[in-house]
Amino acid sequence: MNAQVIADKEGKPEFAVLPWADYQAMIDRVEELQDIVDAEHVSAAIQAGEETFPQELVDRLIRGENPIKVWREYRGMTAASLASSVGVTSSAISQIESGKRGVSLNLLKKLAMALDVDMEDLVEG
């Protein structure tokens, strides 16, 4: 790397000017090193038991499908089993998932606990 150093009035280095190709190579290397650090953090989190999710689940949520239904199906639960675990009827779950019925804060908390997600994960939009 060929850099020109520009000093301040006291002779201390203040700026370094380098060819664009050298600058770009330096930026590329820093980004590569950051990617390695990020990958190591993700790997450590997975090793520590952090849950990961398949792309299909993420895609369904991004498309705007009802998050309660998406999470319920991902967790392998039927509407009846989810309803039983939160103390409502399977018809109520069906109405919630189709948007025909709202969800109280108390029920949302129970659904989040039953589906093992944060409450925010069950709110659309």
Question: Could you read off the pLDDT of 99-110 as tens digits, one per residue?
Answer: 999 999 999 999
Q: Percentage of the chain surpassing pLDDT 70?
A: 99
**Residue 85: predicted pLDDT:** 97
* CATH architecture for segment(s) 55-122: Orthogonal Bundle (1.10)
**Whole-prediction pTM:** 0.70
- pLDDT tens digit string along 36-86? 999 999 999 999 999 999 999 999 999 999 999 999 999 999 999 999 999
Tell me the longest C-alpha to C-alpha distance in the chain. Answer: 79
Task: For residue 115, count other CB atoms closer than 10 A to its CB.
Answer: 21
Residues 6+ apart with CB under 8 A from 108: 119, 122, 123
Domain boundaries, the chain: 4-47, 55-122
